[in-house]
A and B are shown apart, each in its own frame.
Chain A
Amino acid sequence: MAQIDTSNDGGKKKKGAQKKIAIHVDFTPMVDMNMLLITFFMLCTTMLKSQTLKIMLPSNDNRIKDEQKQQASKDEAITLILDTEYDANGKPLIDKDGNTVHNIFYYKGMPDTINADAIKLEHFMANVDGKRQGIRKILFKEHEKTVVAYDQLKQRFRNKEIDKKTFDDEAKKLGTDSMMNGKKLVHPVVIIKPGPNATYESLVYAIDELNGLLIQKYAIQGLTHTDTLMLRNYGKANGKEVIRPNIRKR
C-alpha cells in the first residue's frame, strides 16, 4: 500500500530501461504523532456537557414579596423543610450507596404546632421497580392528574400522533390550566425552606423533584418560628434531635 512495487519480476531487462526503485514510506512516526495528538485532545476536552436547572425566584421588592407570601400561605401549600445530616468531622453524612443524607420535613396546609404528627419526615429517593418513592411519592399524589395527563401527552407525541409544537403548547397549558376535560385541576404550591444545615445539593434535588412533577409554583423562604416549633414537637415525639444549630459556625 505504502510502497510502489516496481520490481521487474523475472522479465528480461531491456537495455537502457530506467532503473526502478521501490518506494517505501514508513508511516510509523506519523501514527505516533497522531496518537499523541489524540491523547492531547482526549485529555483536554469535555465530552459531557453540563446540564442546567432553571430557577425562578420572586422579586426582592418588598411590596411583591408580601403578596407572594399571602399566596403561598394558602391552605393547599406544601412546606418542605430541608436539612442535611452531618458526620462527626463536619462533612455531610454519606449513606451506603454514596448519597448524601438529606432529611425533608414536610407538612401540608397551615402550620400546626399542637399535633406532633402534623409534620412528617421523608427523603429523596430514586424510583424502585418503576414506582415512585420517598418525597416524590408524596408530591406526586398532590399533582397526580396533571402528571398522568402529561405522560399520556408524551406518549402520543412519541407515537407521532401530534407534532412537537402541539406537544409543547399542550404541555405548557397543562402546567397552568385550572380545568381539564371539565374537571377542576389543582396545582399545588410548594414552599421550600432550607434549614440552617441544608446543603446546595438538597435545594437542587428539591427543585428537580418539582420540575419532574410539573409543579411550577414554588417559593424559597427561610424557616419561621412556627416551623422551629413544629420541628421541636416532632423531635420530642420521636426522641430525636431535629433542630440543630448551624454546624459550620464555630
Chain B
Amino acid sequence: MGKVKIKKKSTLIDMTAMSDVTVLLLTFFMLTSTFIQKEPTTVRTPSSVSVEAIPAKDLVTILVSAADPNDKSGDPTLTEGKIFLAFQGDSTIKSEDLRKDILKAAISTYNQRHPSKKLSNPTEAQIDAFSKIQMFGVPFESLYEVLDMDPVARDKYLSDIQNPKVGIPINDNKEKKVEKYNEFQIWMDALAKVAQKGRTDAIEKNKLDEYNDADKEKIRDLDILYNAIYQGNSIAVKADKDTPFMTIHRVFDNLQTMGLNKFNMITNLKAEEAVKD
C-alpha cells in the first residue's frame, strides 16, 4: 500500500507587507499629531457651531478650573475658578524664550507692586524650569518653591486643585493702575510688555517708520504676537461648561480692565442640522 504523503506546508507568514503598512500609519500619526497639552485639571468645554479653529501658536490659554466632584468639603467655590496660564510662542519667538521674558517682566512688576514682599531675582535654573512648564498657576509667594521642585513633583503639586496655594490669585479690580494690579493682571501685563518690546525691537532693527503707510504693513507682519494679543486672536479662555457664569465673569472683567476686550472662548464642535427653506 502506498502511503499518502501529507505535504508539509510552511507556517511562515510573510510580514513584510504588514510592516510596510504599519510604518505608513506610524508616519501619518507622527506628522498629523499635536500632543495633548499637559493641563493641571481637565475641563469639559461647552460646544458651539463655530468652525473657527484655535490658533496653534502665539496663544495664551487661560484655564479656569471647574468644581472638583471629589471634593468632600461641600463648598464648590473652593476648587472652582482657579486660574492657570499657558504661553505659546511661534517660530520667531520660541515658547521657551517667551516664557523667560514674561517671568522676568512679571517679577519686576510684582516687586514694584509689593515693595515690602520683594522677590529676589530668579536664578538661571529657576528661569529655565519656568520656560519648560506648559501650564502653571501658583501665587508669586510660592513661585520659587514650585520652580525648585523636580518636574514630577511639580506636576503633582499643580494638579492638586484643593490646595489653596494653587491657582493664580484673581479678584475684582477695575482699576488699571500698577499699584492695584492683582496677580492675574500682573501676568497679563507682563505678556503685553513682552509683546510691546518685541514690536519696538523689530521696528528699530528694520528702521521702520510707524507713520509711513508702506511700513505700517511691514510692522503688522513683523509683530505677530503684539497684534495677536490686541486683535483678539491670541487670548483663549478655557472653562468648564457647568461653571457658573459669575466665576467666569471675574476673568472677563479682569481682561476688560487690562484693555483686552477681544478674546476667544474654547469650545467643541457641535453638529447642527442645516436650515431648509
Contacts and interface: CB of A to CB of B under 8 A. Distances in A.
Interface in B3-32: 12, 14-19, 22-23, 25-26, 29-30, 32
Contacts of B232: 54, 56
B2 interface: no
Nearest to B56: A49
Interface in A127-166: 127-132, 148, 151
A42 B275 CA distance: 36
B249 to A, nearest CB: 8
A200 B239 contact: yes
Chain B CB count within 10 A is highest, among A57, A128, A131, A202, for A57
Nearest to A204: B46
Contacts of B211: none
B131 interface: no
Contact of A200 (B17, B30, B245): B245
B95 interface: no
Contacts of A67: none
A59 B241 CA distance: 25
Q: How large is the interface on B (under 10, 10 to 19, 20 to 34, 35 or more residues)?
A: 35 or more
B15 A52 contact: no
Interface in A155-212: 194, 196-205, 207-208, 211-212
A78 interface: no
Interface string A19-56: 00000101110110011011001101111111111111
B48 A49 contact: no
Interface string A77-92: 0000010000000111
B26 A34 contact: yes
B276 A202 contact: no
Contact of B257 (A58, A60, A90): A60
B25 A56 contact: no
B46 A2 contact: no
B88 to A, nearest CB: 13
B214 interface: no
Interface majority SS (helix, strand, loop, mixed), chain B: mixed
A200 B29 contact: no
A45 B35 contact: yes
Contacts of A110: none
B15 A27 contact: yes
Contacts of B213: none
Most A CB contacts (10 A, CB to CB) among B241, B252, B277 go to: B241
Interface of chain A: mostly helix, strand, loop or mixed: mixed
Interface residues of A, number: 64
A200 B248 contact: yes
B22 A35 contact: yes
Given A48-B269, A196-B246, A53 B48 contact: yes
B36 interface: yes
B75 A250 contact: yes
B54 A59 contact: no
A27 B17 CA distance: 9
A55 B16 contact: no
Given A41-B30, A126-B273, A248-B76, A27 B19 contact: yes
Interface in B231-277: 232, 236, 239-249, 252-253, 255-257, 259, 261-269, 272-277
18 contacts: A28-B15, A30-B15, A31-B22, A34-B23, A35-B22, A51-B54, A51-B266, A53-B48, A60-B256, A127-B273, A130-B275, A200-B46, A200-B241, A201-B46, A203-B248, A205-B48, A248-B244, A248-B246
Interface of B: 12, 14-19, 22-23, 25-26, 29-30, 32-36, 45-54, 74-77, 174, 176, 232, 236, 239-249, 252-253, 255-257, 259, 261-269, 272-277
